[in-house]
Amino acid sequence: MKFKLSLAVTFLVFGIIFASRVNAASSSSILVDIMPENPAPYEDVNIALSSYGSNLDSVLIQWSVDGKNVSSGIGKKSFSLKAPAAGSETLVLAVISLPEGNVEKRLIIRPSVMVLLWQANDSYVPPFYRGKALATPDSEIKVVAMTDSKNMTYAWKKDYSNDQEASGYGKNFFLYTNDYLEGSNNVSVVASTLDQKYSNEASIEVGTTEPKILFYKNDNSLGTTWEKTLTDPYKIQGPEIVEAVPYFISPKELEHPTLIWSWSINDSLVNIQGYKKNLMPLRAESGTSGTSRLRLMIENKYRIFQTASKEISIEF
């Protein structure tokens, strides 16, 4: 099964003042930026300091990681490191030696993996199909967020627009019907703890494809010969049954009355008896030979873009 996987990192940034001579205004004037905002585990992270009230280019700045001094210098406003492994955390401390006293800025980088998986709820694939049921125009799509924490609040977006109704506590999945005018949709989510201290962010692109029909031979003794599709042209050896498999069409119940099956031979409609509309029996008259065109069109009468067709030449 193919799926896109997105990694998101949670982090908490806050300032703590330890020196008694520190001016509160000086501390609040120092800003901390992290790039990227949501780094993946082991990804390079750049931390930069800026200030609208102090000249950081002329003061000593010391950096430490998990209590170990790693870098210092006059005007050392930026620092780079690798994010830790998922589930662990790294404490970064910046000490800024301002004329009025030291200011400390602490950052906790705590990676956490979140995976988004999607599926097309009503897309047909045959039994034992090893691939993924793909989305087609007007398909219902379900996106599930897999996190390492159960007690989360989820804020979902589709194509960068907030979906308030789909968001909320414990709502780790998102349902939508894709638009036939769009080739793909972007679905993203921010999962946060109840105290809002930690959050994960991930996004996924869900594309669409067109439903397609493949023809197989259906043998009375062996069943469907899934090993290969019928070639074009295809020569029948006596009475045979052609089985049509409409990959990715919806609904996925082939006997559903919303699906209209239209078989034709040489443009003449053929009425299929019985409930299995995907089976076409073929038989050539004794002593005759030639070629005929076999065609099938499948339509969903409520979804005009859920249409597929296939035709091949039958030699006899």
Per-residue confidence of the chain (316 residues) as pLDDT tens digits?
A: 333 333 333 333 322 223 333 444 356 789 999 998 767 789 899 999 999 888 999 999 999 999 999 999 999 999 999 999 887 889 999 999 999 899 999 998 888 778 999 999 999 999 889 899 999 988 999 999 998 777 899 999 999 999 999 999 999 999 999 887 888 999 999 998 888 777 788 999 999 999 999 999 998 888 899 999 999 999 998 899 999 999 999 998 999 999 999 999 999 999 888 788 999 999 887 778 899 999 999 999 988 888 999 999 999 8
Q: Give me the number of domains the chain comprises.
A: 3
Whole-number Å distance between alpha carbons of 178 and 3? 17
Whose CA is closest to 131, among 186, 215, 209, 224?
Answer: 209
Say if residues 199 and 191 touch (Cβ distance below 8 Å): yes
Cα dihedral value 32, 38, 42, 43, nearest 10: -80
Q: Tell me, what's the pLDDT at 17?
A: 28
What are the structure tokens assigned to 71, written together?
A: 């870098």
Sign of the CA dihedral running 60, 66, 68, 71: negative
**Residue 2 located in a structural domain:** no
Whole-number Å distance between alpha carbons of 220 and 133? 28
Q: Tell me, what's the pLDDT at 300?
A: 92
Whole-number Å distance between alpha carbons of 170 and 149? 10
Q: Which of 94, 112, 130 is the last residue of a domain?
A: 112
Helix, strand, coil abundance in the chain, percent, nearest 5: 5, 55, 45
**Residue 252 located in a structural domain:** yes
User: How many Cα atoms within 13 Å fall on the side-chain side of residue 6?
Assistant: 21
Q: Which of 81, 112, 143 is the last residue of a domain?
A: 112
Q: Which of 175, 207, 239 is the last residue of a domain?
A: 207
Could you say which DSSP state residue 24 is in?
Answer: H
Do residues 68 and 98 share a domain? yes
pTM of the model: 0.71
Say if residues 242 and 218 touch (Cβ distance below 8 Å): yes
Q: Report CA 301 to chain centroid distance, whole Å.
A: 29
Do residues 185 and 250 share a domain? no
In 8-100, beta strands by DSSP E: 8-16, 30-35, 44-51, 60-65, 68-74, 78-82, 90-98
**Residue 4 located in a structural domain:** no
Q: Tell me, what's the pLDDT at 165?
A: 95
**Residue 1 located in a structural domain:** no
Say if residues 161 and 200 touch (Cβ distance below 8 Å): no
Q: Tell me, what's the pLDDT at 3?
A: 34
Q: Which domain holds residue 251?
A: 212-315
**Residue 70 located in a structural domain:** yes
**Residue 171 located in a structural domain:** yes
In this structure, what CATH number is given to the domain that contains residue 28? Answer: 2.60.40.10
What are the structure tokens assigned to 237, written together?
A: 């050896």
C-alpha to C-alpha distances, 264 to 217, 243, 251, 274, 314, nearest whole angstrom: 18, 14, 23, 17, 12
